[in-house]
Amino acid sequence: MEQMDTIKSAALAAIEAAADQETLAAIRTQYLGRKGSIPDLMKQLRTIPPEQKRAFGQQVNELKDAVEAAWTARAEALEAARDGATAAAFDVTLPGEWRGGGSLHPITQLTDRAVEIFQTLGFTVADGPDIETVFNNFDALNHPPGHPARDVKDTFYLDDPNLLLRTHTSPVQVRYMLSHPPPIRIIAPGRCYRRDTPDATHSANFHQIEGLYVGRNVSMADLKGDLSHFAREAMGPDTRVRFRPHFFPFTEPSVEVDFSCHVCGGKGCRVCKQSGWIEIAGAGMVDPNVFTAVGYDPDEVTGYAFGMGIERIAMILFGISDIRHLYENDVRYLAQF
Ligand code: PHE
């Protein structure tokens, strides 16, 4: 019994003095562990005379319970003290650290806006792959063999000579007409690739928005009306549109499309190189040979098509002086727009 009292006071004192969980764990091993002093007492039960066994067992159990309870209480107290210290060090009323929000890339912003405008005119979005067949990119679009645009100097061909990185979004016209009967009205934004040496206005990788409207009696007046609507919505209500005669293999007649300069309103300035006009798109009436290539009857339908350079519009609208700024991915620069 004496031994029990000694163990008890020593254990309780040690527990009370324990300042951290590590010390506390060691105390547990020392007194309550499998080889600890309290289980050791239990083993002495064998040596106790039978009439005292019961009282002895009870005493040891009480000792064990008392030490166990003191230990748990101390462990909880230490835990609470630690949580309290953490909470005191963390001031929830301090303002947070602002990481800054992201912003949409100017090309994305402009593409979204253009799609939105043409959707109000009844156009739906069509899509095609960056890797195209020579047929979709050139043959079906009425490029004769030997046409300069087919040259390896201008076009990225893949190992398979029937495949290339599309040089314009016009192959989406072919894909769509091959899989849908007329009438159709689509807009197709996407990436294009040409073997250009990068400079302030050229990039080997750029974006276009293709438009195609095919139906009965679609005319050049529809083309000009729809592009004029787009110009006013995208660049401002006073923007005018003019057509200049041009040539594309897949349209006849073909035009280049200028918008009046949104900076000077047409009077002439640095942005429009004093001409008052900015070239925005190529366009024209779909060539009958293209209709034949995709299985449309050129005697039944007519259509217009256009392709605009998105970088060009972005540079003009946002005052970006070098196309390469759009691809260097400096978020401090891009976040301005
Ligand atoms: N695909 C032509 C280009 O990249 C643009 C264009 C599209 C012209 C549709 C006419 C009709 O230059």
pLDDT at 81: 85
Ligand 1 pocket test, pick from 137, 154, 168 with the greatest ligand atom count within 8 Å of Cβ, gives 168
Radius of gyration of the chain (CA): 41
Residue whose C-alpha is closest to residue 260's, from 244, 278, 282, 236: 278
Amino acid, single-letter form, for residue 291: F
Task: Compute the distance from residue 210 Cα to the ligand 1 centre, in Å.
Answer: 8
Which residues partner with 251 through β-bridges? 248, 286
Which of 174, 176, 226, 248 has most ligand 1 atoms within 8 Å of its beta carbon, as the pocket-test mutant?
248
What confidence score (pLDDT) does residue 92 get?
81
* Distance from Cα 307 to the centre of ligand 1, integer Å: 4
Please tell me the number of Cα atoms within 13 Å of 96 on its side-chain side: 3
Ligand 1: which residue has its CA nearest to atom 10?
A: 283
CA of 300 to the centre of ligand 1 (A): 23
CA geometry: angle at 172 spanning 137 and 214, to 5°?
Answer: 115
Say if CB 22 and CB 75 are below 8 A apart: no
Per-residue pLDDT of the chain (337 residues; tens, 9 = 90+): 788 889 999 999 999 998 888 999 899 999 998 888 898 888 888 888 888 888 888 988 999 999 999 999 999 988 888 888 777 788 888 888 888 788 899 999 999 999 999 999 999 999 999 999 999 999 999 999 999 999 999 999 999 999 999 999 999 999 999 999 999 999 999 999 999 999 988 999 999 999 999 999 999 999 999 999 999 999 999 999 999 999 999 999 999 999 999 888 889 988 888 999 999 999 999 999 999 999 999 999 999 999 999 998 998 888 888 999 999 989 889 888 8
Q: What per-residue confidence (pLDDT) applies to 270?
A: 85
Residues 6+ apart with CB under 8 A from 66: 8, 12
Q: Closest by alpha carbon to 16, among 84, 80, 71, 82?
A: 71
Ligand 1 atom with the smallest distance to the CA of 170 is 1
Q: Model pTM?
A: 0.72
Ligand 1: residues within 6 Å at CB?
Answer: 168, 170, 248, 251, 282-284, 305-307
93-106: per-residue pLDDT in tens?
888 888 878 889 99
pLDDT, residue 83, reads 81
Contact between residue 258 and residue 278 where contact means Cβ atoms under 8 Å apart = yes
Dist CA 186 CA 7 (whole Å): 90
